[in-house]
C-alpha cells in the first residue's frame, strides 16, 4: 500500500490525520515513542522522532499540518479557512501545553507554578480554553471540518488520559458532543 501513516492510537496529532483520512485506503504503522528500541528504529525513518509522519510512496511528511495540507490537495478535500486554522492553532496551544505537563509528570516533576516551564503552560491552558469556549458558543465548531477534527482529538485525548478538567468549558464540550457519535470519531477513539 502506498499511503502509510506512522503514529500511535492515543496521539491527538495522529488522530486528526486518521479522521482526515476517513474513507481512504491507508496503512496505520504503529510507533511507540516510549520504547527506546522502537524510538531508535523510528529515527531511521524520521529524524524528528515525532508523530504523525505520512509516507506516500516515498514522499515523507513530518508534521500534522503539512500532512493535512497534502491530503487536502491529494484528495480534493475542503481547504480550511484562516478562522478555522486559528482555532486549530489554539487547540494546538492547549495540546502542546498538556504534552509538556504530561512529560513533566511522567519525568517525576511536581507540576507546581514555581517552575517557569510549568507556570507558562498552567497559565496558557485556561486562557486558551476560555477563548475556545467563546468561539464554540458563537458556533465555530458547528460544521465538521479541520477545526472540529482538531477539537475532537483534543477533547477525547484529555478524557482518555484524564489530563485536565474540561467541565467548566460547557460550550466547548457541547460543541464536541455534537460530533461524538460520528462513525469516524468512534472508530478512531484513543485506546
Ligand X SMILES: N[C@@H](CCC(=O)N[C@@H](CS)C(=O)NCC(=O)O)C(=O)O
User: Footprint of ligand X on this chain (CB under 6 A)?
Assistant: 11-13, 33, 49-52, 63-65
Cα separation, 140 vs 132, whole angstroms? 9
Cα separation, 32 vs 63, whole angstroms? 17
CB of 88 to ligand X, least distance (A): 9
CB of 139 to ligand X, least distance (A): 25
CB of 34 to ligand X, least distance (A): 9
CB of 51 to ligand X, least distance (A): 4
Q: Which is nearer to ligand X, 39 or 168 (CB)?
A: 39
State CA 93 to chain mean position distance. 10
Q: Which is nearer to ligand X, 99 or 178 (CB)?
A: 99
For the beta carbon of residue 167, count every other beta carbon within 10 angstroms. Answer: 7
CB of 93 to ligand X, least distance (A): 11
Q: Which is nearer to ligand X, 13 or 118 (CB)?
A: 13
Nearest to 3 by CA among 168, 17, 47: 17
Cell of 108: 517525576
Cα angle at 177 between 19 and 16, to 5 degrees? 20
CB of 13 to ligand X, least distance (A): 4
- Cα end-to-end span (Å), the chain: 24
Q: Give the single-character DSSP code of 59.
A: E
H helices present in the chain, as ranges: 12-20, 36-45, 64-74, 82-106, 116-137, 146-161, 170-179, 183-187
Amino acid at each position: 500500500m502506498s499511503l502509510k501513516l506512522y503514529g500511535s492510537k492515543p496521539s491527538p496529532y495522529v488522530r486528526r490525520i486518521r479522521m482526515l483520512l476517513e474513507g481512504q485506503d491507508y496503512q496505520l504503522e504503529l510507533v511507540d515513542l516510549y520504547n527506546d528500541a522502537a524510538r531508535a528504529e523510528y529515527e531511521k525513518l524520521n529524524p524528528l522522532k515525532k508523530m504523525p509522519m505520512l509516507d506516500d510512496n516515498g514522499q515523507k511528511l513530518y508534521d500534522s499540518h503539512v500532512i493535512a495540507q497534502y491530503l487536502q490537495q491529494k484528495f480534493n478535500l475542503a481547504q480550511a479557512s484562516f478562522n478555522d486554522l486559528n482555532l486549530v492553532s489554539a487547540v494546538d496551544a492547549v495540546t502542546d501545553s498538556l504534552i509538556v505537563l504530561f512529560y513533566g509528570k511522567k519525568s517525576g516533576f511536581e507540576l507546581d507554578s514555581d517552575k517557569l516551564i510549568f507556570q507558562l503552560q498552567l497559565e496558557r491552558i485556561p486562557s486558551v480554553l476560555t477563548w475556545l469556549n467563546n468561539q464554540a458558543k458563537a458556533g465555530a465548531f458547528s460544521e465538521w471540518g479541520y477545526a472540529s477534527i482538531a477539537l475532537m482529538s483534543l477533547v477525547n485525548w484529555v478524557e482518555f488520559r484524564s489530563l485536565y478538567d474540561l467541565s467548566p468549558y460547557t460550550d466547548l464540550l457541547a460543541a464536541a458532543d455534537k460530533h461524538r457519535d460520528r462513525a469516524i470519531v468512534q472508530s478512531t477513539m484513543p485506546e
